[in-house]
Amino acid sequence: MNDRAILLRPARVWTAEFDSPRSDLAVLVQDGRIVAVDSAEKRAAPDARSIDLPGMTLIPGLMDLHSHLFLYPYDETPWDAQVLKESEAYRTARAVKHARQTLEAGFTLLRDLGTEGAGYADVALKRAIDEGHVPGPRLIVTTRAIVAAGSYAPMRKNYRPDCCPHQGAEEASGADEVVRAVRHQAAHGADWIKLYADYRVGPNGETVPTFSQDELNALVAAAHDLGRPVAAHAMCDEAMKRCVHAGVDTIEHGYGGSRETFAMMAEKKIAFLPTLTVAEAISEYFYGYVPGKTPPTARMEQAANAFRLARAQGVTIGCGSDVGPFAHGTNVRELQWMVKLGMSPREALSAATSVSAQIIRRDLGQIRPNYLADLVAVPGDPTQDIGAAGRVSFVMKNGVVVRGP
């Protein structure tokens, strides 16, 4: 590549190493990477295309490490109806729209944690984005989540017993089967492996562990042997503990986690994606929560308590919202919830940039030479007002302007 260089001249630049935005910098980009971050006066770059961003703060591209591009809000169409009634082709067409909305909102990378019944369509969508056929963020894909047999949805008890409802994930039982499922998904293009360590399958619908310790150990070992990190859905404390002992790389949700379990996660450097926004969305759809008018539901309080416990124990916390059940392109709501629950705006921005990049092991999430040029400009100072992160005016992905000033 010999693309013409682009010189970005924002009013301010913020990256995780700065306590506050700096007003004396320009950023030079070429061939998909950041070439230099220099004094605006020194960096003339006469051969570069210059883009002025007056009044804007330039920040790294945002990341959401828990998303579902193949789902959309449940108050429009329930989960079961999406999975059982909508074709994979239709759902993929919608996912293309969701990907564009996400990128235009300043989220330049998603980790998509399961197609929820749409097979391996995420691998195809990732390829279409990478080849430039459709716009969208960088994708890390997991294809079909792995669940214990009979322990996911659509739940068989809700349908005729002589029917076999299309499942939202790949079922497996026993160590041999979970290893086979890991290898099956890796062969189909999964970058990470996603598992469900628990689900609402207790006698009265309680959330209980669904995989034994031996099954989890075998699953994680097989994934790591294939170079695939593991993301674990775990709501109850016992399932979280089993995942920690198995050596997963991230735990999702964790609403029922204890102080002891979060301390174990911190010790073993297992990251946490708190998915605060989806707790709010589910509370709105099904439990009568009205933002600003009614008190938080029990589910929301549980999510908030887990977030505070994780912070207190020093757990690495990235940005993972579980977007899909709520509208794509509104991922910034997760950062706003983090700030409501005690993070500073700067900490929340770091969670969605440098910390998330650390979790996925990519040279992204910072504005520094040799890093990939995923950049976003917003008005004002998002380190003081996190709402500014939701007012995106400029988006660059891999050195290409996808939304102009």
What is the structure's pLDDT at 3?
A: 77
- The pLDDT of residue 43 is 57
What is the chain's mean pLDDT, rounded?
Answer: 96
Side chain identity at 188, as an amino acid letter?
A: H
Residue 370 burial class via C-beta count within 10 angstroms: exposed 0-12, middle 13-18, buried 19 and up: exposed
**What percent of the chain shows pLDDT beyond 70?**
98
Interatomic CA distance for residues 385 and 374, integer angstroms: 22
Q: What is the pLDDT of residues 159-187, one digit of tens each?
A: 998 888 999 999 999 999 999 999 999 99
So what's the pLDDT on residue 42? 54
The HSE-up count of residue 381 (CA atoms within 13 Å, CB side) is: 11
List, for residues 41-82, the tens digit of each pLDDT value.
Answer: 555 567 899 999 999 999 999 999 999 999 999 999 999 999
| The three-state (H, E, C) secondary structure of the chain, written as one string | CCCCCEEEEEEEECCCCCCCCECCEEEEEECCEEEEEEECCCCCCCCCEEEEEEEEEEEECEEEEEECCCCCCCCCCCHHHHHHHCCHHHHHHHHHHHHHHHHHCCEEEEEECCCCCCCCHHHHHHHHHHCCCCCCCEEEECCCCEEECCCCCCCHHHCCCCCCCCCCCEEECHHHHHHHHHHHHHHCCCCCEEEECEECCCCCCCCEECCCHHHHHHHHHHHHHCCCCEEEEECCHHHHHHHHHHCCCEEEECCCCCHHHHHHHHHHCCEEECCHHHHHHHHHHHCCCCCCCCCCCHHHHHHHHHHHHHHHCCCCECCCCCECCCCCCCCCHHHHHHHHCCCCHHHHHHHHHHHHHHHHCCCCCCCCCCCECCEEEEECCCCCCHHHHHCCCEEEECCEEEECC
Per-residue pLDDT, averaged over 290-307, amounts to 97
Domain boundaries, the chain: 6-60+365-403, 62-331
Cβ–Cβ under 8 Å, residues 33 and 45: no
The two beta strands, 394-397 and 400-403, are antiparallel
Confidence band of 22 (pLDDT split at 50, 70, 90): very high
pLDDT of 40 reads 66
Taking phi over 0 as left and psi of -120 to 50 as alpha, with beta for the rest, 296 belongs to beta
> What pLDDT sits at residue 45?
65
Phi, psi dihedrals of residue 222, rounded to the nearest 5°: -65, -40
What's the token pair of residue 100?
Answer: 């564009």
- Both tokens of 264, joined, read 């174990």
Specify the pLDDT at position 163: 85
pLDDT at site 151: 96
Q: Does 274 sit behind a cis peptide bond, omega within 30 degrees of 0 on the bond before it?
A: no
Fold equal for 6-60+365-403 and 62-331: no
For 236, 266, 278, 339, 344, the CA distances from 245, given in Å and listed in that order, are: 15, 13, 27, 31, 32
Is the confidence at residue 2, as pLDDT, over 70?
no
Q: pLDDT tens across 301-324, in order? A: 999 999 999 999 999 999 999 999
- The CATH architecture assigned to 62-331 reads Alpha-Beta Barrel (3.20)
Percent of the chain at pLDDT > 90 equals 95
In this predicted structure, what is the pLDDT of residue 39? 85
Question: How high is the pLDDT of residue 164?
Answer: 84
Q: Which fold has domain 6-60+365-403?
A: Urease, subunit C; domain 1 (2.30.40)
pLDDT higher than 50, residue 1: no
Which pLDDT band holds residue 101 (cuts at 50, 70, 90)? very high
